[in-house]
């Protein structure tokens, strides 16, 4: 079993809709979780972090964490064509001062104008 | 700051040749990571350093791969001999200490082994 699993997509949504991206992880001791965005041909960049159960909102983005179910999700409201990218879920499997991140394979999001 | 700098951006080589990828992390960052990205396997952590010391190399696929960090501003990832299955984009990333999850990635080195 992979440590971090994501549906590869593509997930296609119309402009203005809510995009929902999901991720599961296998290591129960993981404490911190992140979402990265990667545009085609570019490097990944951090967009959201979440450390405790519940929701965390930042602009149009909401990260959700359920440690009991080992599940992390990212909601993008009012999706824009510029949101079209691959979204990578990442888990810190060490914690402390070390940002040792294990990434999922990513979900490709396509926002249709 | 110029960000994480990697070279070369593209490398095409033949099977059996030695490949050296280079990385300059962001000044002041304590950690340096080497990742490999392919369509099939996604972004895989190969090795990471803390204050120039290798901490975890469990992701290095085999003995053909080696990485060094002789000082705080330079790291190399070497593949010898290279094989077609090593074809991938290799990313270097650096970060400060602290569980922020924020890795700063370079633009990557796209390696093609024929």
pLDDT tens for residues A18-58?
999 999 999 878 888 999 999 999 999 999 999 999 999 99
- List chain A residues with CB under 8 Å of B56: 100
Closest alpha carbon to B51 in B96, B90, B6, B93: B96
- CB of B95 within 8 Å of any CB in chain A? yes
Contact B31, B92 (CB under 8 A): no
Q: Does A89 touch chain B (CB under 8 A)?
A: no
- For position B102, what pLDDT does the model report? 86
pLDDT digits (tens, 9 = 90+) for B31-75: 999 999 998 899 999 999 999 999 999 999 889 999 999 999 999
Residues A88, B108: C-beta atoms closer than 8 Å: no
Residue A1 has pLDDT above 80, yes or no: no
Task: Give the other-Cβ count within 10 Å of B68's Cβ.
Answer: 14
Instruction: Categorize the per-residue pLDDT at A17 as very low, low, confident or very high, splitting at 50, 70 and 90.
Output: very high
Q: Is A77 helix (H, G, I), strand (E, B) or coil?
A: coil
- Minimum-distance CB partner of A99 among B35, B42, B99: B99
DSSP letters, chain B, are: ----EEE-SEEEE-TT--EEEEEEPPTT--EEEEEEEETTTEEEEEEEEETTEEEE-TT--STTEEEEEEETTEEEEEESS--GGG-EEEEEEEE-SSTT---EE---EEEEE-
List of chain B residues whose C-beta atoms are within 8 Å of the C-beta of residue A34: 101
Q: Extract the tokens encoding A98.
A: 């070390």
Q: Which residues does chain B have within 8 Å of residue A35's beta carbon, measured at their own beta carbons?
A: none
Structural element, H or E, at residue A75? strand A71-76
Whether the CB of B103 is below 8 Å from some CB of chain A: the reply is: yes
Cα distance between residue B11 and residue B19, in whole Å? 8
Structure tokens at B45: 């952590």
pLDDT of amino acid A96: 65
Residue A21 touches chain B, beta carbons under 8 Å = no
Secondary structure (3-state) at A42 = coil
Is the pLDDT assigned to residue A62 strictly greater than 70? yes
- How far is residue A44's CA from residue A29's CA, in Å, rounded to a whole number? 25
Q: Please state the rounded mean pLDDT for residues B84-101.
A: 90
How far is the alpha carbon of B106 from chain A, nearest alpha carbon, in Å?
Answer: 7
Which pLDDT value is given to residue A95?
A: 67
Check residues A30 and A3 and name the one with the higher pLDDT: A3
């Amino acid at each position: 079993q992979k440590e971090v699993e994501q549906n590869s997509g593509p997930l296609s949504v119309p402009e203005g809709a809510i995009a929902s991206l999901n991720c599961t992880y296998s290591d129960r001791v993981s404490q911190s979780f992140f979402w990265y965005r990667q545009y085609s041909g570019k490097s990944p960049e951090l967009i959201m972090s979440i450390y405790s159960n519940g929701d965390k909102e930042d602009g149009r983005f909401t990260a959700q964490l359920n440690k009991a179910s080992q599940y992390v999700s990212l909601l993008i409201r009012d999706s824009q064509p510029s949101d079209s990218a691959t979204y990578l879920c990442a888990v810190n499997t060490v914690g402390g001062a070390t940002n040792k991140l294990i990434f999922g394979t990513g979900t490709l999001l396509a926002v249709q104008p | 700051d110029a960000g994480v700098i990697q070279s070369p951006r593209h490398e095409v080589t033949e099977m059996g040749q030695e490949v050296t990828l280079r990385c300059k992390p962001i000044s002041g960052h304590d950690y340096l990571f080497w990742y490999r990205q392919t369509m099939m396997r996604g972004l895989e952590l190969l090795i990471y350093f803390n204050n120039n010391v290798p901490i975890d190399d469990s992701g290095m696929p085999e003995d053909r791969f080696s990485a060094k960090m002789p000082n705080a501003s330079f790291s190399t990832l070497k593949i010898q001999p290279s094989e077609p299955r090593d074809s991938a984009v290799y990313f270097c990333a650096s970060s400060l200490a602290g569980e922020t999850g924020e890795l700063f990635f370079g633009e990557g080195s796209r390696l093609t082994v024929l």
